[in-house]
Structure 1
Amino acid sequence: MIPYGKQDINQADIDAVVAVLTSDFLTQGPMVPKFEQTVASHVGADHALAVNSATSALHIACLALGLKHGDWLWTTPVTFVASANCGLYCGSKIDFVDIDPQTYNLCPMALKAKLELAKKENRLPKVVVAVHLCGQPCDMKAIGALATEYGFKVIEDASHAIGGKYQGEFIGNCRYSDITVFSFHPVKIVTTAEGGMALTNDAALAEKMNLLRSHGITRDPALMTSEPDGPWYYQQVDLGFNYRMTELQAALGVSQVDRLDAFVARRHELAKRYDELLATLPVTIPWQHPDSYSGLHLYVIRLQLNKISKLHRQVFESLREQGIGVNLHYIPVHTQPYYQAMGFEAEDFPEAMVYYREAISIPMYQGLTDDQQDQVVSALRHALAGGED
């Protein structure tokens, strides 16, 4: 089976982890700060906070921005559920903004229209989570301008996008956002096995997220309510969580980032080759905005169903039967039973639903060979033709 995504581990990665295993620290040692500084320096952010998952990073980002009961968080329906769930963890209400039919990201025009209506109804969002689907950045300049006009905070959910660029600058520099979040799950561009990171240029937000990821505990006398009892002393000054990253994960991350640019470059080679190989098939290939240099975590095709005799599900199942580990990113969040119970209807966000009925993620990872890619395309051609050679 050729998977849709896969980690790339070399001997340097293994050696980095083994070195930590034989060191004095398996957690709360020097490697986590080193990993944070490595990523922050690479993308051009002032502060980075490593945590145990991107979901944890989204949660503490929302809390640091003051999201609370009764507030609104808006995001895209075409994302993993964590992009919306992070608001529910804070007690907020959730709504969605439909996608742009070309980029599949949150549509700035739909956002503007929704904001105009929400202002009249006094239900403007406190936070908007802009998800860089597949690794292609949202139109952050437009979203940032709307944030200034309407007074909401912006989180970039860049779980798919480390190593990508927007307007020539690395995603993660927070030029148009308050906080950016990365994921280091094994199928992502670089991995720490499990892990995530929140980046910001705001020292106060960084300090707040630092507290929240480790039980709300501090050893910094400047943050305490009284003089320390002694050198052993700490205080819990907030209600936090155990969201820390281990030294083993951080060591793997530092090693992986050494190859980040090469990983993304290889993904672009594969994407260009896919574009050429799929040009004559009845599928829509990913469109890339000229302002973006995608991280290319995913390569999503959309079936031109009016040109084939097969159903979406039939093509998907045929590919799986032929040993191609395709997937679908994502089932629109507002169609999940938990969100349907809140009153959302499937057709509330029509562009998201059209996307869902046509999309298939085909294999995309830096270790994919040209021969394997040829196998993917051959299997797709077979599936689209209904099994005919």
Structure 2
Amino acid sequence: MNQHLLEKIDAHFDEMVAIRRHLHMHPELSFQEQETANYIIQYYKKLGVPVEANVSGHGLIARIKGSKPGKTIALRADFDALPIQDEKDVPYKSTVSGVMHACGHDGHTATLLIIGKLLWEMRDELVGEYVLIHQHAEEVDPGGAIGMVQAGALDGVDAIFGTHLSSNHPTGIIGYRVGPTMAAVDSFEIKIQGQGGHGAHPDQTKDSIVIGSQLVINLQQLVARRVAPTESAVLSVGSFVASNADNIIADTAYLNGTIRTFNKDVRETMEREFKRVIQGTEIAHDCTIELNYRHGYPAVINHEKETLFVRNIAQNICDVTEIEATMGAEDFAYYLEEKPGTFFFTGARPAKYAPHHHPKFDIDEKGMLIAAKVLVSAALDYQLVE
């Protein structure tokens, strides 16, 4: 049955490409994906597949039950786009100004829709149940995954699998990793309230730019002096704004940035020490600092059993490589906190390469074939795993 299904995936490549290009031309931002959700709903309705809509927002869940009892396996694809102007010169260029699929989520959706179609056609031969999770809002914290989990998307599920099409990896491979694979991401916003004044009289001021500069330097020491060399952490200040005329000492400064970690203890250490530096800076400079420290997605921690299972499955389909962990983040992490599973990368590097979140991002659409084959093989063969 598996071989027959893989051949049918090849036969549906043109349809998969057509779906992906339609979605690429009509992108929608996170939490605004109404028309994309409607497109997915109508696709399943025409097939007769039961689909639950409006799951924690624009999320969707299609369920396909086989004729024989077995495990319940979930597959997930996200479908939101990014606030980026599409600069590619292709017929399927985004038609929405300032919005484009710059990360491959259109390809994820096309892949899962074809998987759903083929599983539905073969439902009388299937063992178990297959839960197809079409998730909104992966790109923007708090993300769509956590709400879908809370709404019951994983109820009764035995394992979950997901992939990300990657322009960073050549077409024809998948990249897997056991354990920490993508980082937890937290963010911060800081307001430094000093005391402004004339540039000729600095002694009468509390210079928020000087205070902010000292704060940035001190924060950069947290990774070097508070995190063990054998662990990983990133702290980046992305913005420092204190706009004034050239003869004015800034009354107020604003900073924001991101913190990335893999280990929960390291994550807690970074937050605790970050707040200590803030408190110390307030005392040292006799100023007021407001901090908004936000927890984002947890780390993607792939389960060993399921990851090695997918690796072994994929070796019969394509080349396989063990990848390094990345400080990028993914809200698939929430699914893996609840159920066994794995998240892997599928190579889809186009002839004209551009990185993810770039105005000229694109994928080699043949990568979708490999993604579909590995995902559906994992879902079916996991029925045999004890």
TM-score, structure 2 as length reference: 0.26
Normalising to structure 1: TM-score of the pair?
A: 0.26
- Which structure has the larger Rg over C-alpha atoms? 2
Pick the structure with more helix per residue: 1
Name whichever structure is richer in strand by fraction. 2
